[in-house]
A and B are shown apart, each in its own frame.
Chain A
């Protein structure tokens, strides 16, 4: 029987390990360094080896473990099971090997850290059969020699690896036709032998590492052995971005992961995997760091510490995290220390943020006429008059229609003032300060005072290295990020220490610890108040103090920025402490304890120059909030790995328990004397003290078993079952079981497989169930809240019901199927991963809306079924691979369709879409419709605006020119929701695209461009708010209808708001599809040979990064991704030095 060469014959052990850890780009550099310092290592390294009756394999592994040497040999050449005794001290490796192979025909050749073992007899045997020799050299695309490349005579068990200078020599049978060259990270090449005997081969990088190790739950697996659907993002991508939280790196870059960027200085992005798996419960994926479930905030993790991110998308991969995996799992692996002398890395990124797009209040943009503010007042007043006054009544007397004279205008009032401007201001209700400023020619651009540029600084230092028994990685980073809204700032010190210690041959201990101290004590400008600010208002009083009311009605957008004192410090610690025991028989036992601690101080003081400190409370108001959280998770993990011939078993068992606790207390007081100078530091000086406490505790436990079974290296099976318990659910509902299966088939390994251009083809199938428990810890219990009452002489505390009990509250469960194909084309020049899935969530956890006559708005319940199905693919390609120009691309696509399969199960008759329907009743309050997507938009189909010449038709609906016009589906002359509302679109993107192109020019200059598009969705333009005060304030300057502006999409500024004549209300939905150049990075590695002549650096890279550089959209608000919040566009300059 023919054996598969890779799996059984060659021993790559340490080499693989090392290469996996290293980034490809670094590898190339490293290889060249290695060649410079060849064979120095073997002379310097001394060994102690003392073993009795040990197998040769044991000794070789011991050497590999203790040193950086790695052995290359074939099992057929070397009898590794032969038992030997050895006892050497402080001897070089040659001495050890001479000892071990004494009396055999084995010879060795050492090239730096690589040791090739060959058998002279075998060798001679080949020779004696007079087989021919082939030889040659292997290089990479840049022409550097590649050691360790496997060279095999196709169809035989014959092969070798290239030595340090990339050369090989191999004896082959005469009938061998083809040589196969393979190397990690490179495309496999097959070369016809023909009559040639020398082969100089240049391997080129492949689109993906097939042998890369991918982290899965409680373990890791080679990519080629994956049965589930897993995507990976690597450090080199993350490091190049200008981001604050790691989630931002995932926006658009991973198929199936739906993510929107946040806009604040704290950064971050929402995460949702493969569509919303719940209606109300949290749909964020579970985060796991270095194997430990992470309960903390994403802002605590320094993106620079991250080595890889693996996203588990399908149920089977995630199922072993059962309890919280229904929304997928994101596994973060932080950087580890590499053995050898310490490597020191320092990076600095400094940048500037500004808005991607601006939306100004009326009269405030660049070049805008401040009088537009008055025009808005004019139109508001005019629409309110409802035709009872002549249309010109509110017009500016200096800008009247030609047929109206100023005196005619003036005299329409019964008692006009002499001065036309005064009269006009009176008519349009202009505040005194506005009048004063107008007459003095003063305007204030509040926009520029509230929204501007922010400075971004990010400095990171890390040290990693290792000795024989200890590997370490330590880092510290300082980030200070200013937002684009005045006052918005986030700063953090984040440090990490990863240690792996080998105590004895069979015990390993270690820890991954992260400490973060972050400052969220920013008081930022108020955007709503900014939108209301009049360009004729005043920011300051004459004496230079801040005005609380800028125009006597609108509060100052910077009122709190100036008048509120805030401190919010969060110190948190997350650690994963573990011990791993090798128990023999292929069994390892790992025990880990994962504590998480956070201390939050949130102190605030509102001085009497704020409305909170003077109007809501008297004499200042302050509070001190202390929150502490402490949680732990305790994992016991047993693994068993055994191979019986063609059968490989890998089993994992887990017993786990966890506890989360929090303690919150607030002290508050108001009305301070003798003065308020002490602020929140001395609340006892107030006269109205109060306090409030809230403590919580939740517990959970889990049992899990998983078996991976591999048959003949090409049939892969994973089966797992997990039972979870969580304290928040109803009695008898706390436990739930989550099974999963997955199957993988490497089709290209079959004998019958013969598609030369498709070198790799794997089919993956999986099924599994996952759970969601993200509801409040006490949702199943009835609760009484407290009220404070004063009866004139005593303060009394009362209680009242704040929540209804639901003892039947149970786990939300998602069942999903996944089918996937992994395809490598043209020797992996093109790599395609294709997945399709169908998931159904049942027992949805949600706050069920109750009729308000119950006295409650909602109750936590399990109801209904929600389906998500979709397809996603990732295509990695190497488009051009030339010595001086490499071009690689990654295209990511995902499309998700979700459907509410059932809701409450209440059947009956109802009217929808102008049809009497029978079936399951929709939830009109939440606008959830069985059979439709959760995010479907049920609203009136807008058909423009009623124009002046349509007044009569509009009047039928109670409307007038300038109001919304919509399709009256049943043409009954009324807008009623059940008859006339339609399904007009979706709020979630229908398709999401991401395209990354990376160019490497002249080896050291690289350019990376990431373009992202979210398409097919809509969002409500926020113009439907309170219109009753438009005669007193300003608003965001959305275009609106007026007789002079009849083409506007949005209705006139009016009050009363006639949209009450649209039953159920009408909202202006507009496409929020966008395409944006999200990340652009240009970096230059100073060539190491030149660099080292000048500076003692291993590498030096400078880079220029832009985030959210350019956006194409029709969305009228600030940004299509954030809606109506300004989105930062950031340019960053970075320097990265490795010593």
Chain B
């Protein structure tokens, strides 16, 4: 009987301690409540935000490369005809997936912004500086969203549970919101920060671009002027890794990945960092050679005997890399855009198209030892078909050369190195554009001439300027740097809102500045067909389709589809009420 009693009491003992026994015990991960309690905790949150921005610039078919395949610049591999991209089906350029990636980055910023006052702050400045950096990243991602997908839902804080009733906000409403956020941020971000971390001027740079997007031209000028008058200067002297090489020049120095964030580079406002000596999990590769270089090693590169004359081996392979090429560069950019003031691409003094800085087609050699033409420049006359010659173009090598380390045994795709986000040259171009919209072409020409002069290009007069010229100049200066499609959409909206050239906000999906540039400048699109290829970008692709699953999973609300795509008929008018600023204290 005693035993029964002992057992009974052990039964009861077990029952009574159940509550405590079942308490979960997270061992190897943090909860937000444990981390976002002080400055150090928020700083570790910022690390992820900084890393997120790197996704724009690195990896195969990265976000930046996508901007070039959907613009006047060229076309994308497998993307000659954009009409195959529908809300249900993308290609291997992540046209649909980019949308959800952006919101993933926004989610990370929102956790910081929503929890900012959970922290114990030693000073309000600390709080505001952290908050401002998070707002900068969030504004950047919304800027990219509204320029890529138009009207989108605005998620302004951390979500604490499942939410399925999102509604689309007007891109203009979002624009106003992120302008206010950046107006706050420029007050609190420090003047100087470590490389890879945004400072006050980085925020001003974005803000000036946002003002421009919102047709607040005076404010855009004012913000840009603050930067230009600030601690930055255009590079005008040789510096950095190759400074001693007399055959090279300042633009080569400026764009060396090794030089982009050193203090001698006075032009860098914000850059992202990627280094070979980082741990594996902290580095990617630029894929510039993979993405932008021409198909020099492919089998259509024939020698005079009709044999394949190039090979993926040897020094030229290391130098030019294993081009895919994902971004096919048009002849317009290779040649036509450089024809100015009586010069052409062969004799222009413009350093940005100088043969020292470019790898010309006649510098591509037959490098297959078995070829009769071994060591000679490739000759496109040997090619079997004219359309094969479209695959060969000169390469702006001073920007695309991301060397691989010596010990690297894999395939050269374009290695690790820092990448520009904002540099002063663009600030001038933003201000120039703002002057232009303000009907001040003289000042616009002055700003453009500052960078042209530095590039040793011929100078222009006020009368030369129109919006097409500004976008030509942007490409000459900022190719492989600026977000080309985003910028074109930005200008398209300005012109549509101002009803310039018959554009209007209502018919953007039918006609736009972006569409005009694509139709009239992109050599491939102008060509239409070449052999087996058809080049086509319908006008609706100014905004990309929103993945049908994003819309269908939002069962309690309506996320609008862009005009011209399947599902558009379910749209409701986008929200236009002012979005609250919850973080202001």
Chain A interface residues toward B at CB < 8 A = 381, 384-386, 388-389, 413-419, 422-423, 426-427, 429-432, 552, 581, 583, 587, 589, 608, 611, 614-619, 636, 638, 655, 657, 668, 670-671, 688, 690, 693-701, 703, 725-728, 734-735, 777-778, 780-785, 787-792, 795-802, 804-806, 848-857, 859, 861, 904, 906, 908, 921, 923-925, 958, 974, 976-977, 1026, 1028, 1055-1065
B551 CB, nearest partner CB in chain A, Å: 8
B4-37 interface with A by 8 A CB criterion: 4, 7, 10-11, 14-15, 18, 21-33, 35
CB neighbours (8 Å) of A422 from chain B are 306-307
* Apart from A615-B409, A783-B31, A855-B107, 5 more pairs, CB < 8 Å: A618-B408, A618-B409, A789-B51, A852-B104, A1060-B88
Bound-state Cα–Cα, A242 to B109, Å = 57
B380 CB, nearest partner CB in chain A, Å: 10
Inter-subunit contact B48/A800 (CB<8 Å) = yes
The chain A residue sitting closest to B552, CB to CB, is: A924
Q: Is B489 an interface residue (CB 8 A)?
A: no
CB neighbours (8 Å) of B407 from chain A are 618-619, 671
The chain A residue sitting closest to B107, CB to CB, is: A855
CB neighbours (8 Å) of B382 from chain A are 415
Bound-state Cα–Cα, A619 to B404, Å = 14
CB neighbours (8 Å) of A655 from chain B are 11, 14-15
Inter-subunit contact B24/A777 (CB<8 Å) = yes
Q: Is B246 an interface residue (CB 8 A)?
A: no
Q: Is B339 an interface residue (CB 8 A)?
A: no
CB neighbours (8 Å) of B78 from chain A are 1028, 1055-1056
Q: Is B431 an interface residue (CB 8 A)?
A: no
Inter-subunit contact A1060/B45 (CB<8 Å) = no
Inter-subunit contact B164/A923 (CB<8 Å) = no
Inter-subunit contact A615/B85 (CB<8 Å) = no
With A790-B279, A799-B48 given, is the CB distance from A415 to B3 under 8 Å?
no
Interface of A is mostly: mixed
Inter-subunit contact B306/A418 (CB<8 Å) = yes
Inter-subunit contact A781/B299 (CB<8 Å) = no
Q: What are 30 A-B contacts defined by CB distance under 8 Å?
A: A426-B300, A429-B299, A432-B308, A432-B311, A581-B3, A589-B3, A616-B410, A618-B409, A671-B407, A688-B280, A699-B22, A725-B22, A778-B24, A787-B47, A791-B196, A792-B195, A792-B273, A798-B45, A798-B46, A799-B30, A800-B45, A853-B550, A854-B107, A854-B159, A859-B162, A904-B164, A1028-B91, A1060-B86, A1061-B86, A1063-B87
B319 CB, nearest partner CB in chain A, Å: 18
Inter-subunit contact A783/B550 (CB<8 Å) = no
The chain A residue sitting closest to B416, CB to CB, is: A790
Bound-state Cα–Cα, A657 to B21, Å = 9
With A657-B21, A1060-B89, A1061-B86 given, is the CB distance from A924 to B553 under 8 Å?
yes
Inter-subunit contact B88/A977 (CB<8 Å) = yes
Q: Is B163 an interface residue (CB 8 A)?
A: yes
Inter-subunit contact B548/A853 (CB<8 Å) = no
Q: Is B219 an interface residue (CB 8 A)?
A: no
Question: Of A385, A695, A703, A790, which is within 8 A of B278 by CB?
Answer: A790
CB neighbours (8 Å) of B23 from chain A are 727
CB neighbours (8 Å) of A616 from chain B are 410
Inter-subunit contact A1026/B92 (CB<8 Å) = yes
Inter-subunit contact B99/A852 (CB<8 Å) = yes
Q: Is B286 an interface residue (CB 8 A)?
A: no
Bound-state Cα–Cα, A1056 to B23, Å = 54
Bound-state Cα–Cα, A418 to B306, Å = 8
The chain A residue sitting closest to B155, CB to CB, is: A853
B67-89 interface with A by 8 A CB criterion: 77-78, 81, 83-89
Inter-subunit contact B280/A797 (CB<8 Å) = no
Bound-state Cα–Cα, A921 to B534, Å = 41
Q: Is B430 an interface residue (CB 8 A)?
A: no
Bound-state Cα–Cα, A296 to B71, Å = 56
The chain A residue sitting closest to B106, CB to CB, is: A855
Inter-subunit contact A799/B45 (CB<8 Å) = yes
Inter-subunit contact B32/A784 (CB<8 Å) = yes
Bound-state Cα–Cα, A657 to B28, Å = 24
Q: Is B521 an interface residue (CB 8 A)?
A: no
A798 CB, nearest partner CB in chain B, Å: 2
Q: Is B383 an interface residue (CB 8 A)?
A: yes
The 4 closest A-B pairs by CB, nearest first: A855-B107, A798-B47, A615-B410, A417-B306
Question: Of B47, B160, B550, which is within 8 A of A851 by CB?
Answer: B550
A620 CB, nearest partner CB in chain B, Å: 9
Contact with A along B542-564 (1 / 0, CB 8 A): 00000111101111100100000
**Chain A CB within 10 A, most for which of B48, B105, B108:** B48
Inter-subunit contact B559/A851 (CB<8 Å) = yes
Bound-state Cα–Cα, A496 to B98, Å = 55
Inter-subunit contact A923/B553 (CB<8 Å) = yes
Bound-state Cα–Cα, A908 to B553, Å = 13
Bound-state Cα–Cα, A512 to B187, Å = 71
With A415-B382, A700-B22, A780-B24 given, is the CB distance from A1056 to B107 under 8 Å?
no
Q: Is B385 an interface residue (CB 8 A)?
A: yes
Inter-subunit contact A850/B279 (CB<8 Å) = no
Inter-subunit contact B44/A797 (CB<8 Å) = yes
Question: Of A388, A671, A796, which is within 8 A of B529 by CB?
Answer: A388
A512 CB, nearest partner CB in chain B, Å: 23
**Chain A CB within 10 A, most for which of B28, B51, B275:** B28
The chain B residue sitting closest to A657, CB to CB, is: B14
The chain B residue sitting closest to A394, CB to CB, is: B532
Q: Is B580 an interface residue (CB 8 A)?
A: no
Inter-subunit contact B302/A426 (CB<8 Å) = yes
Q: Is B100 an interface residue (CB 8 A)?
A: yes
Bound-state Cα–Cα, A54 to B384, Å = 109
CB neighbours (8 Å) of A1056 from chain B are 78, 81, 84, 91
Question: Of A615, A638, A694, A906, which is within 8 A of B411 by CB?
Answer: A615
A390 CB, nearest partner CB in chain B, Å: 11
The chain B residue sitting closest to A689, CB to CB, is: B279
CB neighbours (8 Å) of A725 from chain B are 18, 21-22
Q: Is B261 an interface residue (CB 8 A)?
A: yes
Inter-subunit contact B273/A790 (CB<8 Å) = yes
Question: Of B106, B273, B279, which is within 8 A of A788 by CB?
Answer: B279
A455 CB, nearest partner CB in chain B, Å: 37
Q: Is B227 an interface residue (CB 8 A)?
A: no
Inter-subunit contact B162/A386 (CB<8 Å) = no
Inter-subunit contact A855/B103 (CB<8 Å) = yes
CB neighbours (8 Å) of B107 from chain A are 801, 854-856
Q: Is B396 an interface residue (CB 8 A)?
A: no
CB neighbours (8 Å) of B44 from chain A are 796-799
Q: Is B523 an interface residue (CB 8 A)?
A: no
Bound-state Cα–Cα, A617 to B278, Å = 12
CB neighbours (8 Å) of A806 from chain B are 161-162
Bound-state Cα–Cα, A415 to B282, Å = 49
Question: Of A792, A805, A1057, which is within 8 A of B89 by CB?
Answer: A1057
CB neighbours (8 Å) of A614 from chain B are 409-410
A1083 CB, nearest partner CB in chain B, Å: 50
Inter-subunit contact B88/A414 (CB<8 Å) = no
CB neighbours (8 Å) of A726 from chain B are 22
CB neighbours (8 Å) of B105 from chain A are 855
CB neighbours (8 Å) of A781 from chain B are 24, 26, 31
Inter-subunit contact B194/A791 (CB<8 Å) = yes
Contact with A along B121-160 (1 / 0, CB 8 A): 0000000000000000000000000000000110100111
CB neighbours (8 Å) of B280 from chain A are 617, 668, 670, 688, 690
Inter-subunit contact A854/B163 (CB<8 Å) = yes
Bound-state Cα–Cα, A784 to B48, Å = 11
Q: Is B566 an interface residue (CB 8 A)?
A: yes
CB neighbours (8 Å) of A734 from chain B are 22
CB neighbours (8 Å) of B549 from chain A are 849, 852, 924-925
